Amino acid sequence: MKEKILERFLRYARVDTQSDSDSTEFPSSKKQFILAEMLADELKQIGLTDISIDNYGYVMATLPSNIEKNIPVIGFLSHMDTSPDMSGTNVNPRVVDNYNGEDILLNEITGLTLKSSDFPEIKQYKGQTIITTDGTTLLGADDKAGIAEIMTAMEYMVNHPEIYHGTVRVGFTPDEEVGRGVDFFDVKKFGAEYAYTIDGGEIGELEYENFNAAKALINIQGRNIHPGSAKDKMINSLLVAKEFIDLLPVGQRPEFTTDYEGFFHLTKIEGTVENTVIEYIIRDHDRQKFEDKKALIYDIAGLLNRKYPAGTVKPEIRDQYFNMREKIEPVFHIVEIACKAIEELGIKAKMMPVRGGTDGSRLSYMGVPCPNIFTGGHNYHGKFEYIPLESMVAATKVIIRIASLYAENYG
């Protein structure tokens, strides 16, 4: 199993599937189809059925039931794209065998080093196999590790019919990293009553609650006058933008928050004296606090529109996804089954809120309650990303055990 997972992950990681947040197409980058086609072929090779790729790039397949019991169809999903935050071109993973617990030199040319003093949690993996970047790209464990784990689990169950399970559906999705991963996902076609995204972080993580999320676009219209004759006439939109930013609470920036604390995150600012556009993402686990944050954006805009000409500041807020906890709590047994599968492997289940979102958060509101399970990765979206191979093996075993627990507990 270890060798299979490693081979698969390295092969997937080298395929550039970076999504594009500026694209209006779906998927946002056509290169995601390259991996989709690879995965469809591989699913056929390992013996799954009902394999399909649709025009949107969704890959689906079935592991048929091997028991007579009438039990719920369950699904496992991971996303194919990698983050736009860091290059996914020419990914060249490094494999560090028998990690010694010290710093890891990522790139001999630049000297870039994964320092254990900066990332002390890596020391817990001493003696294990660590897969890192070469310091020039992200690694793509988010979420190609999840794909490798699902694929290996399915192959294992095909080859070990003594492991009883019901019908299992597999899904690989595009564009999760740009928040559009299930925009066109066919829930009816997928046909699962419950599902799990394999898209979490370090070993043991099990998540059934996430942020409520929105994106705010604030357009600021200034008035550009020659600076030599600007007195009482010029309105510098860049400075109005600064006022807007300064009126938001400093303590609610991402760098000052943790656990259940929400935030306003400034993601982009572009402008001139005449016009400036600010982009924020707004996040909070608590629905009322989330709504209050959105209201504050409008309140600040109103304040500045009283100070400056009406219509100077125009905010536009779009909801992105909501906390899946509301949809999962009524069927909490699906979390308990995952927790049991994790702890049977001698791993402590770490129940924690996702400080972000997954495809599962939106799927839960589309009728498929969908908690999130660890892949084993750390430091996603950047050049210091790494994943222990042993954590990937554990995630694969959890997938297999979840499938068998449904067979044991139903019918």
Q: Domain containing 179 — which CATH number?
A: 3.40.630.10
Give the CATH number of the domain where residue 312 resides: 3.30.70.360
Q: What is the pLDDT of residues 177-217, one digit of tens each?
A: 998 999 999 999 999 999 999 999 999 999 999 999 999 99
- Classified as helix, coil or strand, 219 is strand
Q: Supply the mean pLDDT for the chain.
A: 96
Residues 110 and 166 in one domain: yes
Q: How far is CA 291 from the centre of its chain?
A: 23
Question: What is residue 305's DSSP assignment?
Answer: H
Domain boundary residue, one of 291, 320, 349: 320
Residues 175 and 303 in one domain: no
What is the model's pLDDT at position 357? 78
Residues 154-176 have a mean pLDDT of 97
**Which of 178, 180, 216, 199 lies closest to 84, judged by CA?**
178
Q: What CA–CA distance (Å, rounded) separates 372 from 268? A: 29
pLDDT tier at 392, thresholds 50, 70, 90: very high
Residues 361 and 225 in one domain: no
Structural domain tally of the chain? 2
Domain boundary residue, one of 297, 320, 343: 320
Q: What CA–CA distance (Å, rounded) separates 105 from 130? A: 12
pLDDT tier at 410, thresholds 50, 70, 90: confident
Residues 248 and 316 in one domain: yes
Active-site annotation holder among 155, 176, 193, 359: 176
Residues 219 and 198 in one domain: no
Residues 169 and 30 in one domain: yes
On the question of pLDDT at 352 being above 80, the answer is: yes
81 an active-site residue? yes
On the question of pLDDT at 411 being above 80, the answer is: no
Residues 152 and 35 in one domain: yes
Residues 185 and 219 in one domain: no
Active-site annotation holder among 16, 42, 81, 143: 81
176 an active-site residue? yes
What is the model's pLDDT at position 21? 86
DSSP lists the bridge partners of residue 171 as 60, 77
Domain boundary residue, one of 279, 298, 320: 320
DSSP 45-76: HHT-EEEEE-TT--EEEEE---SSS----EEE
Residues 282 and 162 in one domain: no
Range of the domain at 281: 213-320
Q: What angle do CA 294, 244, 85 make, to 5 degrees?
A: 75
**Residue 163 CB-density burial (10 A; 0-12 exposed, 13-18 middle, 19+ buried):** middle
